[in-house]
Structure 1
Amino acid sequence: MMIRRERSDDGDAIHAVTAAAFRGLAYSAPPAEPGGDPGEATLVSWLRDDAGWIPELSLVAIEDDQVVGHVLATRAHVGARPVLGLGPLSVLPRRQRSGVGTALMHAVLGAADALGEPLVALLGNPSFYGRFGFVAAQPVGIAAPVAAWGDSFQVRTLSRYDGLAGRFRYARPFDRL
């Protein structure tokens, strides 16, 4: 398996992987169109067209010349300070629980740290993301966009973290879900 940056010809494959990964999950975002793909698949397209898009942080996992996984981090804010929002993280169902998601997470966190980002936030399963150093955001002083998210809204501080605190805000396309 190889992890690399997304290329311009990867869009359809990323959409297919994201749709397959989130299809039928209870926590998946509703389709943008009735009967359409899960909202996460459409979200990736919306994010590409947003000012918060960071090409260096859209990574794919490749096996046998095919995209089998994708992760994305985009510009977000805590108060007025720039940080990152991570997601979606998608792996083809047949490749889940085989290390693809773990490799993508390590790669995107390393890239974010190398770019000098202070913090990455996400909404997800604490038992999965805790393995990567994510912790509940509230005790760190970061307020979730939706208070009901509780401990599922998590942050991972990076080398440039300096104790910033405040309300977290994802890139604008997340508001469309």
Structure 2
Amino acid sequence: MTIQLRHEAPDDIAAIEAVTIAAFANAPHTSHTRQFIVRALRAANELTLSIVAEEHGQVVGHVALSPVTITDSQGRQAVGWYGLGPISVLPPRQGHGIGSRLLEQALSELRAMRAAGCVLLGEPAYYGRFGFQAHAGLQLPGVPPGYFMALALHGTVPEGIAHYSDAFNATA
């Protein structure tokens, strides 16, 4: 498998959207809006990292990272936290380690940026192997607690309520 990871280029935008649509076409618990989220993050200049996996000149995977606000009960905000997602791999290429490589690259780049940490909404059994864990003091409203996880890259996981960009409400 010759997978190359790189930052998105303008010519990748349509392929990223197609990969995202295909990756979640039959997924449970989806509103089929993830492609709109990526588009809205890009339009709002909130797409901090956009990494593609390319195989034989074709985009087969993608991961997006964007700033997240975590506010504690006194109104203080944690600085330097990012949300990972969506992460997408074309269905025929799922299960071949592409998503893992995208995730590891994203975390490596966040570390290089000296980011405080990363949060995500996902399957604990999968993301736990990368060090993500649910934390009782960190919440994403409306989400079952075990599925909202964090990984501190520098320092500790803050307590509070996490808020993703308004782009995550995009429906078109």
TM over 0.5: same fold?
yes
Q: How far apart, in 2, do the equivalents of 1:58 and 1:19 lie?
A: 16
Alignment of 1:75-114 (within 5 A): 75-79=67-71, 80-82=77-79, 83-114=81-112
TM-score, normalisation: structure 1: 0.87
Q: Percent identity?
A: 36
User: Hey, which of these two has a bigger chunk of helix by percent?
Assistant: 1
State how far apart, in whole Å, the 2-side matches of 1:165 and 1:97 are: 34
Query: In structure 1, what residue type is equivalent to 2:70?
Result: V
Contact map agreement 2:139 2:145 (CA 8 A) in 1: no
Counterpart of 2:74 in structure 1 is none
How far apart are residue 122 of structure 1 and its match? 0.7
Distance between the aligned counterparts of 1:81 and 1:44, measured in 2? Answer: 24
Q: Say if 1:70 and 1:91, in contact at 8 Å, map to a contact too.
A: yes
Please give the secondary structure, in 1, of the residue aligned with 2:103: helix
Find the aligned partners of 2:38 and 2:51 in 1 and give their Cα distance: 12
1:19 to 18, 21, 24: 21
Provide structure 2 residue ranges, at least 5 long, that are not aligned to the other structure.
Answer: 72-76
| Counterpart among 104, 112, 119 of residue 121 in structure 1 | 119
Q: State the Cα distance separating 1:53 from its structure 2 match.
A: 2.2
CA RMSD of aligned residues (A): 1.3
Q: Which residue of 2 aligns with 1:32?
A: none
Q: Distance in 2 between matches of 1:78 and 1:126?
A: 20
User: 1:35 corresponds to which residue?
Assistant: none
Contact 2:66–2:83 (8 Å) recurs in 1: yes
TM-score, with structure 2 as normaliser: 0.89
Instruction: Give the one of 151, 154, 172 matched to 2:166.
Output: 172
Change (3 A) 1:137 1:49: farther
Deviation at 1:51, TM superposition (A): 4.1
8 Å CA contact 2:82, 2:119 repeated in 1: yes
**Alignment partners' CA distance in 2, 1:46 and 1:115:** 23
Q: 2: CA distance between counterparts of 1:137 and 1:53?
A: 25
| Unaligned runs of at least 5 residues, structure 1 | 30-37
Q: How many equivalent residue pairs?
A: 163
Instruction: Please say if residues 14 and 70 of structure 1, whose CA atoms lie closer than 8 Å, have aligned partners that are also in contact.
Output: yes
The alpha carbon displacement at 1:163 in A equals 4.6
Specify the code of the residue in structure 1 equivalent to 2:139: A
Which runs of structure 1 show a deviation greater than 4 angstroms over 4 or more consecutive aligned residues?
A: none
